[in-house]
Structure 1
Amino acid sequence: MEAMAENPSNRLPGVPFKHTPQIIPSSSQIPGSHSQSQQHLYPSFLEIPDVSPSARVICEILGKVSPHELETVLSSSGIKPLPEIVEEVLKLSYGSPAAAVKFFRWAGLNQKHSAHAWNLMVDLLGKNGMFEPMWDAIRSMKQEGLLSMAAFVSAFGNYCVAGRFNEAVMTFDVMDRYGFQPDTVAVNSLLSAICRQENQTLKALEFFDRIKGKIPPDGDSYAILLEGWEKEGNVAKAKTTFGEMVIRVGWSPQNMSAYDAFLTTLVRGAQADEAIKFLQVMKGKNCLPGLKYFSNALDILIKQNNSSQALSLWDIMVGSGLAPNLVMYNAMIGLLCNNNDIDNAFHFLDDMVLYGAFPDSLTYNMIFQCLIKNKKVREVGKFFYEMIKNEWPPSHSNCAAAITMLFDGDDPEMALEIWDYMIKNRVLPLDESANALLIGLCSMGRMSELRRSALSMFDRRIKIFESTMGKLKNAFCKEGRSGRDTYDDLSRKWKSS
């Protein structure tokens, strides 16, 4: 107790006290212990289906019994705190650290705790920001001969989550006092803990630069830093780190996560040309990334609307023997169509079956839409036949757009064929295409056909827009008295329908 009374502010974390502390602090030394035991009533564990009966009973006791009665009630429960029960209860007790400590002390009176139970207690205390009690637990583990690297990894992570990075680094520095010689695994664990926090990769780099002369880094060390730079979008730092990595650890397919992070940082940073140069080098080193990287990189380039670099990336991918899937083909075809590169879009459509990716409705409709947008009148008709032959018909919106474009492009017969196909095959809804057809017939002065089509649409309860009726009125009224009478008849039927 004398050790606990010392002011810890002047000590490095983990430096042993002058006096041996008790195995684990009493609940009176834990902030909020008296109120916590009254407030956290384990609201969620009862909903967990795989809680053992014994752990369930203990959790109920911890949630309901006051702190000064807890050990008595636990002892009278008749439950033997076997190691697996202790571990299970601790896993459920992260929200109630005061009660967890009380339970842990009581369970330790009956038998020694397992190493896993001690690690859970260290992690529980650290996650609740109770770092001095956490160190008491670490020292106790050392006394028991149960201390492992897992306890230090937990301390690294919890200090970093709390924003106490200097103390995380000092924890690393005192590991040797606890019988652990810091190694590359420990370095990587601390780097990972720092880099998991937002915008802290520079702090991780400071630690890395200090330690790399004493403890040789490996590919994972650089991968952690490169993933940090990727998350922060720091292209310059990523290039420096990657260059150092190649010099110190060389090229190896085992370092793929580092390569992925570096290349992704370049692509996201609008330096896809640099990424492609590196990919060419990596191909020669037999270190080319897998399909997942190429898929993610293409997604980024597509969002950037960068079709030229996406094509270069694609060529490297298929040239290395990787087979793109349908999603990737559709993404590329969509990008090409968005840039009106219809020739390359057709090239991809023709090639995809060779790689086992068969076009679907989206594939065909993107190309069809591009043809319509670029007013390729003859190609629209030809491609329409190919679509229905392969049983991937155009969407209703593409049909409407095609009908409008075909009338404007002086191919009304093809427009009527599309309309007839829609009727026969129930490509719904019909409203937009119906109005496009009527407006097209109006513009060409095909009045008798216009009248028949309008009557048929009224009978089918197809919605004709008021603006369309206005165009019909103008067209029919130009035909004189008979035209006005025809329009009046159509107008009555339109209103009644």
Structure 2
Amino acid sequence: MVMDSLVSLPTSHCHSPLFTSKPHSSSATATTTTTTTTTTSTSVSFSLSPPPQPPEPNIRRPKSINSSPKHKISSNPLKNFSTTTPTPTPTPTTSTTNNNFSHVPSPGETTRTTQSLVSKLRLSSKLFPPPPPPPLLHDTRKATQISEPEAPSPELEKPENFRQHGKVFIGNLPSWIKKHEVAEFFRQFGPIKDVIVIKAHNEIHRNAGFGFVIYGGPPPVAEKSAVKAVEFDGVEFHGRVLTVKLDDGTRLKGKAEERARWVEGYQGQDLSNKSKWHQEREGSRRLFRKVLDSEPENWQKVVIAFERIDKPSRREFGLMVNYYARRGDMHRARETFERMRSRGIEPTSHVYTNLVHAYAVGRDMEEALSCVRKMKEEGIEITLVTYSILVRGFAKIGNSEAADYWFEEAKERHTPLNAIIYGNIVYAHCQTCNMERAEALVREMEEEGIDAPIDIYHTMMDGYTMIGNEEKCLIVFERLKECGFTPSIISYGCLINLYAKIGKVSKALEVSKMMESAGIKHNMKTYSMLINGYLKLKDWANAFAIFEDLVKDGLKPDVVLYNNIIRAFCGMGNMDRAIHTVKEMQKERHRPTTRTFMPIIHGFARAGEMRRALEVFDMMRRSGCIPTVHTFNALILGLTEKRQMEKAVEILDEMTLAGITPNEHTYTTIMHGYASLGDTGKAFEYFSKLRNEGLELDVYTYEALLKACCKSGRMQSALAVTKEMAAQNIPRNTFVYNILIDGFGLLLNFFSLIY
């Protein structure tokens, strides 16, 4: 009867859940008297008692047991696995399935199975460690062993399983070959997804002699293309017999083995996911990014942090190229870029854009364009950011035509454009004073639905300042406020700069008071603008008064402000105080520039103190400043005014040896010097040099020729010069007529003396 009652129970009451919500509860395990597992297609009951006799034929068997659907064995042994497996209690239970009886596995078997499965769940084993193994039970009876097979120990797969479909090894390549040339040859066998050419270790422009071609498309198509390529093993390519074979996956297998050691650890030890080398490398990378964000001005610390990274990745190289680009150090940016390529890391569009930015900041647009051509050759996309940098670079050097060309190409390839590239092209035309084109671009931007940022308003105000259009500059300022922008110090600075340049310093002071009433304080640039305004008016007292206000506000003068103060002292004729200001500037650790020494040299030259002018010239060189054409022109001007033409010509020869090309002002000054001496031959000689070198001929050049002709009494030659001026469409000014009148007056005096 007991047997009948057990058999007739419903199936739902005979099964208990395999995993409970409280995996570590011992009471739940202790109170369980009957456990039935359903991990396979049949029910397995755990029993230590001898197998009972088969039931009599007349006993009715429930159909629900025999007709239960067979469960499919999952291909993933870890599915539905929990880290805690209940330990079966050796309580005798009975379950009938096809007249077969199972037994309880031995504790050793249970422990091995649990540990082999848990070892595959790395994360789970870290978060929920398995319970300790139960104590061994010494069974007096030997049960029939019908247990689940143990999970196979993880073994490394064969190299063939790591093969990438469509990947072909290419050996014995010429060391000078490029990726696109390899791609052109192997494209005949199918579409190519990627070409990998391994770079040489030390020589960045050469490769290691081998590489890989990866064919694209679905796996069967890629594999078919790879097989076709392998049939051409031994083909001649640029004088080399190539080795072409399918990639055997050895390289990927080695990487998988290494990764398995990192992830699983060694000999069951609880190691971290990454090796010690990777941990140190990751730490140095984090330190580098931290220094780059917190102390970008300390370039030595940034470079040291970068050099500490063992084998930097593409990201670190890109950040370093971008850092040098922002500093304008295009040579170190290029060096870092080539160092990245020498390690076999191919640059992306982002890295190339950073290099183009470096050349654009350094105003070397030829190299920037060479980088763009290289990007096109290698099939790298030129992004809108790259185009914007090109437009900005050409704008800075004043080449608005080139900026327009790249802007139009960006418009063809990228739609819609953004406000940044529009701001750059507007800046390009404002720098060349082409305000009509700038206004048209602003209208076009608004028609495209792009809102103009406040920077474009400032750019337009600067453009109108350059052409001295006060009315339109004020219109833009009012429009800025109507659009909801709050005027900043840059907005007020544009107005101050406008009034300072057109000589309305009183209105500039009114704008400064308006700015202060709005709660905006002056900065170094606004003070410099006011001082420049007073210097143009030669109002030295007010210029020094503004300087005193600057010091009272707690601002420290910068190089530009020091240059303005030196210019003021030179204008007053106080040359000693100007030299003292240079020394004070050096004490404050400000590096003087050529503009610092220019007014001093020019002041001494005009005063006829050429010895002191040359001393300051040598002082400038010792300070690390490279003389410019304007510096040499100041010396030549002083010497010609003292009629020391031999020394002036020596300075001109020294200038040429220093690699500095004379400009039209240099030759015009020399011509004026010889004209004052009446040396017509030398004056015409330098006029011919000026014209042969393609320099601009202006009215001052012809004035020197007229002066030389009239001084020597050659009035016919003077009239010929005036005819050439008319042919060149150069208008005559009052100085030209005065020179001719003086020439004819001297001639009349000469004839009156004779007759």
Q: TM-score range by the shorter chain?
A: 0.3 to 0.5
Greater Rg, structure 1 or structure 2? 2
Q: Which has the higher strand share?
A: 2
Q: TM-score, normalised by structure 2?
A: 0.27
Name the structure, 1 or 2, with higher relative contact order (CA <8 Å, separation 6+).
Answer: 1
The alignment's TM-score, normalised by the length of structure 1, stands at: 0.38
